[in-house]
């Protein structure tokens, strides 16, 4: 699986949009971009994934650049409960491959 | 989404004892489950892949005789930490795959070895 690079931390004001960048310059054509988050002392929670088109669900939006070398996870209206470590992972969907977690981005949402 | 449950959520044991942690897929059958370990302020580290009806596959550096994994049914995998020591204190997390679908994670089990 391709390696990803994320900023170690970022702060966000409550109610504002949080834009989390991820670089994956070595991504392969059949690898998807996945985002998970981990709230303190809980298991990771799936957020969203995509291949090349932008995706949106009830939790977030995922914007993938045309060359697929980077992506941005957008939390449209951050709340205090969105404070967590966010992990960007690339892998082949449906494969038996194992998820390898990087360091992620610690997002702190402040009032 | 699919639900994966772990039990116990936290456990304290004495050094030298064994501890079993269960991982259950509540509303789907999981032929493959994964066990992770997470030390404070660190990311998740994959320990092993648990396959129903066959031996688990361990990651490099993980002692298979110390971390016994049993995946006896399509909804249950267990991780037994044998002869636990304080350095085994950690947050253990399992994940399960629904067919060839996405991975879902349990709530985690915090082990403290005194």
Cβ <8 Å between B105 and A102 = no
Dump pLDDT digits (tens) for A51-86: 999 999 999 999 999 999 999 999 999 999 999 999
Dump pLDDT digits (tens) for A20-62: 999 999 998 888 899 999 999 899 998 999 999 999 999 999 9
CA distance B103 to A40: 19
Least trusted range by pLDDT, from A81-90, B32-41, B46-55: B46-55
Q: Is B59 exposed, middle or buried (0-12, 13-18, 19+ CB in 10 A)?
A: middle
- Of B37 and A102, the structure prediction assigns the larger pLDDT to B37
Confidence band for B103, pLDDT divided at 50, 70 and 90: confident
Using an 8 Å CB-CB cutoff, list chain B residues near A101. Answer: 36, 43-45
Average pLDDT along chain A: 91
Instruction: Output the pLDDT for position B102.
Output: 73
Dump pLDDT digits (tens) for B87-97: 999 999 999 98
Using an 8 Å CB-CB cutoff, list chain A residues near B107. Answer: 42-43
Calculate the CA dihedral of residues B51, B52, B54, B55 and round it to 10 degrees: 50
Instruction: Output the pLDDT for position B97.
Output: 80
Cβ <8 Å between A49 and B102 = yes
**Closest by CA position to A21, among listed A32, A3, A6:** A6
**Closest by CA position to B50, among listed B19, B66, B74, B26:** B74
Name the pairing type of β-strands B90-97 and B103-105.
antiparallel
pLDDT of B20 strictly over 70: yes
Instruction: Output the pLDDT for position B54.
Output: 83
B21 Cα to chain A: minimum distance (Å) = 14
Instruction: Output the pLDDT for position A91.
Output: 82
């Amino acid at each position: 699986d391709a390696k990803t690079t994320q900023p170690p931390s970022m702060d966000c004001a409550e109610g504002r949009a949080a834009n989390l960048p991820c670089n994956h310059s070595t991504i392969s054509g059949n690898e998807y971009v996945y985002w998970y988050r981990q709230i303190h002392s809980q298991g990771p929670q799936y957020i969203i994934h995509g291949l090349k088109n932008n995706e949106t669900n009830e939790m977030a939006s995922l914007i993938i650049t045309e060359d697929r070398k980077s992506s941005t996870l957008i939390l449209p209206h951050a709340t205090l409960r969105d404070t967590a470590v966010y992990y960007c992972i690339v892998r082949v969907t449906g494969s038996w491959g194992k998820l390898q977690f990087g360091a992620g981005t610690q997002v702190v949402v402040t009032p | 989404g699919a639900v994966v449950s772990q039990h116990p959520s936290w456990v304290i044991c004495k050094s030298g004892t064994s501890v079993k942690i269960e991982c259950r897929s509540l509303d789907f059958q999981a032929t493959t489950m994964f066990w992770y370990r997470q030390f404070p302020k660190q990311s998740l580290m994959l320990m092993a892949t648990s396959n129903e009806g066959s031996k688990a596959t361990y990651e490099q550096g993980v002692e298979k005789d110390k971390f016994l994994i049993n995946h006896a049914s399509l909804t249950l995998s267990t991780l037994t930490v044998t002869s636990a020591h304080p350095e085994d204190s950690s947050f253990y997390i399992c994940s399960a795959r629904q067919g060839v679908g996405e991975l879902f994670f349990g709530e985690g089990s915090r082990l403290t070895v005194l």
